[in-house]
Amino acid sequence: MAQIFIKDKYIFSVKPKMRLINKDKEGAKKQISLFLKEVRLYNVNLEKLSKKSPTYECRNLMLNIAYYIMQNSDIYDNFNKNREIPYKDIIKNSLVTKSFLEKWRDYICLYTIIISNPNYKDLQEYLNIDLKENEKDVVTLVSKDDKDPIYRGIVLRDFKKSSIIITMLGEIINIKSIEINSWGEEISGREKKGLKHYKKQICIGVVILITTISVFTYLYMNINRTVMIKGTSEIRLQLNIFNRVMKIISPTSKGKELIFSIDGVNKKLDTVAEDIIIYMKQNKMIENNKIIIFINGKKITDKDLLNTEKYILNNHIKVLINNCGEEKKINPMLIEEKKNDDNKTKEKNIDEKKSTESKGEQKTEEQKPKIEIIDNSKEEKGKN
């Protein structure tokens, strides 16, 4: 007769229990060795299990599913034959979701193997399983306030600096260990930290990273000014907040050739503007040696076109810049004349300064008191 599934019939009891540990170490080791071989047949990986953290309630539900499989001969035969959980039968009779069974498949297989095989008597006796009706208050063994608890259990696998144990509450834990431990031996220790312990920090970090990338991408792709450089063709540049050129457009075929040639996307405005004017000069795209630059949106500063202005001055190109309504002329001839005028003014000032200094010296000489030197030797000779 098929057993009815009861989701909370059995529990991992937290009541104190006399646990009989097999003193025959070799016998215990052989039992665990046999258990590990069977577990592998079901593709259950203990290391992966140790990285999962099912809650106390979740483990109790998985335990009852394992008992349901064991107590129904047809389902149990199916489990042994296919080495897989009979999903359809369990879902049909238990109303447990398929996603839950798939997520905790390995744990359910592990519990079913332990409780159904008489060869694993040590493990069966070690697990503190009881009927729920025998306990009024069920609490978890590990306090939620204890962030780094000490676990005790039987060794299932041993590594250089850690051991995988099964606790009396059915937890598979990878604990830190200094010594090499024998399979089947009861040991205790703190859990070896893995990625699952830093999920919260990792999630927060990922959220911050995604937010930062999203904000940066938005700012980078957002156009906040347009620059048009007009020679014989119009070249329109769209720039972002970082003064990077995001898009270059031109309505003429020559302008499109220019755009293809300079490859200015993602480059600084100064670099692209200079490359455009160089190309225009080399390909005779500057009419009457004059270029007009229009800026719409956010104003540019003098620093934004430093190299471009140097090239303009060195190559004697006249440029009118309309910076959001504020005009600026770059005329090499006027600048040269201004320099010459400034130099003449400086020379004149220097000459005047020298002349003033010279007159001052002469005045000083005239104002100096004259000292008359009298020769007394002649007077003395006359007296004699």
- For residues 317 and 277, is the Cβ–Cβ distance under 8 A? yes
What residues pair up with 39 in beta bridges, in sequence order? none
- For residues 261 and 279, is the Cβ–Cβ distance under 8 A? yes
Structure tokens at 203: 């999630």
- For residues 77 and 70, is the Cβ–Cβ distance under 8 A? no
* CA 212 to chain centroid: 9
What count of Cα atoms within 13 Å lies in the side-chain half-sphere of residue 375?
A: 4
- CA dist., res. 252 & res. 256, Å (int): 6
- Given a cut of 80, whether residue 57 has pLDDT beyond it is yes
- Given a cut of 50, whether residue 217 has pLDDT beyond it is yes
Q: pTM surpassing 0.85?
A: no
| pLDDT (average), residues 16-32 | 75
DSSP structure class, residue 131: E
The per-residue pLDDT for 160 is 82
What percent of the chain lies above the pLDDT cut of 90?
Answer: 56
- Given a cut of 60, whether residue 372 has pLDDT beyond it is no
At residue 64 the predicted structure's pLDDT band, cuts being 50, 70 and 90, is: very high
Give pLDDT tens digits for 124-155. 999 999 998 876 654 544 455 566 788 999 99
Q: 7: closest CA among 55, 67, 52? A: 67
- CA dist., res. 132 & res. 60, Å (int): 10
Give pLDDT tens digits for 143-200. 555 667 889 999 998 888 889 999 999 999 999 887 777 788 888 888 887 666 567 7
Per-chain mean pLDDT for the chain: 84
Q: Map tokens 């503007």 to a residue.
A: 273
| pLDDT (average), residues 272-288 | 94
State the DSSP string of 323-343: ETTEEEEE-HHHHHHHHHHHH
* CA 307 to chain centroid: 35
**Angle at which helices 306-314 and 332-367 cross, to 10°:** 80
Domain range annotation of the chain: 10-134+149-193, 221-333
What percent of the chain lies above the pLDDT cut of 70?
Answer: 79
Q: 320: closest CA among 299, 278, 350, 289? A: 289
Q: 188: closest CA among 160, 150, 158? A: 150
What residues pair up with 191 in beta bridges, in sequence order? 175
- CA dist., res. 378 & res. 182, Å (int): 134
How far lies 273's CA from each of 95, 323, 359, in Å?
Answer: 70, 14, 55
Q: Is 297 helix (H, G, I), strand (E, B) or coil?
A: strand
Structure tokens at 226: 């347009």
- Strands 245-249 and 234-240, bridge-based pairing: antiparallel
The per-residue pLDDT for 149 is 84
- Strands 290-297 and 245-249, bridge-based pairing: unpaired
Highest mean pLDDT among 50-54, 362-366, 368-372: 50-54
The per-residue pLDDT for 334 is 52
Neighbouring residues of 306: CB distance < 8 A, sequence distance ≥ 6: 270
The per-residue pLDDT for 361 is 58
| pLDDT (average), residues 362-384 | 50
Give pLDDT tens digits for 81-114. 999 999 999 998 888 999 999 999 999 999 999 9
